[in-house]
Amino acid sequence: MYRDILFDLDGTLTDSSQGAFRCLDYAMERLGEPPIPPEVKKLFMGPPPEESFRILLGFSQEKARQALRFFREQYEASGQNQVAAIPGMAEALDRLCRAGLRLAVASSKDEPACHAVLENLGIRRYFAAVAGHRDDGAGTKAAIIRAALDRLGREETERGGVLMVGDRKYDVLGAATCGIPCLGVDFCGYAPAGEMAAAGVVALVRSPGEMADYILSAPSAGR
């Protein structure tokens, strides 16, 4: 049985698309750039925004950082209040905690925002640790996952009984780098079709109840 479960935030625990898309619109307006097409906006959900500004829009590093500053400016003003919990998620988290599992968040969202969102939604109490993107270099998904494991007291050589839960390939690949499996979720439809299976998820679930059922019934790949 899995003992420690790490969760991505956007698209996994929450649907933050409404607020995030408005922040993207604001950043583009401040930069004097045309609006981002809806199908491209969806691809921003998952990786760090600065990375997406560079890869998806072709911005230079300097321009991507400027876009990120505008994005965060709007997010802190109103975006973090336009986030909804996935329906049924609180009940699923409660089931996992009552079963004795330890839960943690490992998100590419900046760390203070992770705490604010979890507190606003009333689900912070379920998590023994929260790790997010930091400006000191802990920016890759693998680095964020390692930070969450460290805060749970997990040694580098002790990864058995740990499961990552996420909705994009970045979660799967980051977990694999850390030697742990990843359960894929399809709650918000952020990932392109087939992305999660191609990345190597152990399974793909479509509701928080199904997620909890899998975690509580599946034998872990580790000790």
CA nearest neighbour of 7 among 62, 99, 85, 81? 85
- Asked if 152 and 131 touch (Cβ cutoff 8 Å), the reply is no
| Alpha helix (H) residue ranges in the chain | 17-31, 38-41, 49-57, 61-77, 89-98, 111-120, 141-151, 169-177, 195-199, 208-217
Give the CA dihedral 6, 100, 130, 51, nearest 10 degrees. 10
According to DSSP, the residues that pair with 84 across neighbouring strands are 15
With vertex at residue 221, the alpha carbon angle to CA 209 and CA 4, rounded to the nearest 5 degrees, is 55
**What residues have CB less than 8 Å from 202, skipping those under 6 apart?**
163, 181, 182, 183, 184, 218, 221
Catalytic residues, which ones? 8
CA nearest neighbour of 218 among 169, 172, 186, 181? 181
Place of tokens 């392109």: 192
Tokens of 109: 């969202």
